[in-house]
Amino acid sequence: MAQVWRDGRRQANLARVLAGTDVLQLDEATARKVGEVLKVNRSDDIVDAHIALMTGPKDVVLTSDDIGIKALLRARRVRATVVHV
């Protein structure tokens, strides 16, 4: 949500999509795992790494960075559906 939410008054469609999603907090233990995922992938996008870390095999990820998310999921050996939006 942090990468896309800017002005709720102008993002009605996004608000509808987010109503059907899980929003997960980044706690200390998860932040450490995110850092490890970033190291393995030589990446620096914390939000994408957090999404990839929280994604399960039957989940659907909506993203404008489908290449980055797919690479992170491959590294975790997770076969989720990634949809470019």
State mean pLDDT over 66-83: 94
The reported pLDDT for the residue numbered 23 is 79
Distance of alpha carbon 78 from alpha carbon 26, whole angstroms: 20
State mean pLDDT over 20-29: 85
Task: Name residue, tokens 């795992």.
Answer: 33
State mean pLDDT over 38-48: 89
Q: Are 52 and 29 in contact (CB under 8 A)?
A: no
The reported pLDDT for the residue numbered 49 is 94
